[in-house]
Amino acid sequence: MLCFLRGMAFVPFLLVTWSSAAFIISYVVAVLSGHVNPFLPYISDTGTTPPESGIFGFMINFSAFLGAATMYTRYKIVEKQNQTSYFSTPVFNLVSLVLGLVGCIGMGIVANFQELAVPVVHDGGALLAFVCGVVYTLLQSVISYKSCPQWNSLSTCHVRMAISAVSCAAVIPMIACASLISITKLEWNPKEKDYVYHVVSAICEWTVAFGFIFYFLTFIHDFQSVTLRISTEINGDV
């Protein structure tokens, strides 16, 4: 049986494939439509102008939902593991969940408020998504080490921490360089004064975004042994 069909593994698998498709499809449509330069546009640039804006908004909204579902399931997994064999304070797991959900809300804001229409709101949502997302991966990496070797292999812990470290290292120059750019625009000329800042921040943005995708890919194995049961109870007279 395919690994992503076991247990709840289809949730992070769907998140990874759907989010990757959202970035790639929006990029291809934007480039083919002539709306962005093929060389290192911001992710949001590929979802600003119709028709790609509709594709980007719809797909990122669903990615935010899948991200929330994945994080909540991960929270319940760690909670159950911790009850079976205590390895960390439950507050640590809860804080991680809350930050992750705030990051998903940020994704929703990015999807629904285009950067040229309402740049302040859009940038605020992006900041929430990236910063909270990076902190979430760091906290989950620490939890993974604490639950090793009973619930995670050491190699999985190392991979998660490596991805978290790269994302953390990339998000800082991403924010710093983006804050130095004086104007929000879709097309850039290499001779413009802010072009270097744009390139650096765009590279870092794509690095962090795909860092998230690869990070959630590591959850697939953990989710294979998890099942979801929904029970219905009717109280009172019918």
Phi, psi values for residue 102, rounded to 5°: -65, -40
Non-local CB neighbours of 210 within 8 Å, separated by 6+ positions: 20, 23
Q: Residue 25: pLDDT above 90?
A: yes
Contact 152, 129 (CB under 8 A): no
Q: Check residue 2 and report its DSSP letter.
A: -
Contact 22, 209 (CB under 8 A): no
Residue-wise pLDDT tens digits, 185-209: 888 888 888 899 999 999 999 999 9
Q: Which one, of 175, 66, 186, 169, lies nearest residue 124 by Cα?
A: 175
Token pair belonging to 151:
């619930």
Residues 190 and 199: their CA atoms lie apart, in Å, by 9
The number of CA neighbours under 13 Å toward the Cβ of 16 is 16
Residue-wise pLDDT tens digits, 54-91: 999 999 999 999 999 999 999 999 999 998 888 888 89
Rg of the chain, C-alpha, whole Å: 19
Through-space distance between the first and last CA atoms of the chain, rounded to whole angstroms: 43
Q: Where are the domains of the chain?
A: 7-181+192-221
Residues 16 and 111: their CA atoms lie apart, in Å, by 17
Q: Residue 30: pLDDT above 90?
A: yes
| pTM of structure | 0.92
Looking at per-residue pLDDT, the higher value among 3 and 162 belongs to: 162
6 C-beta neighbours (distance < 10 Å), count? 16
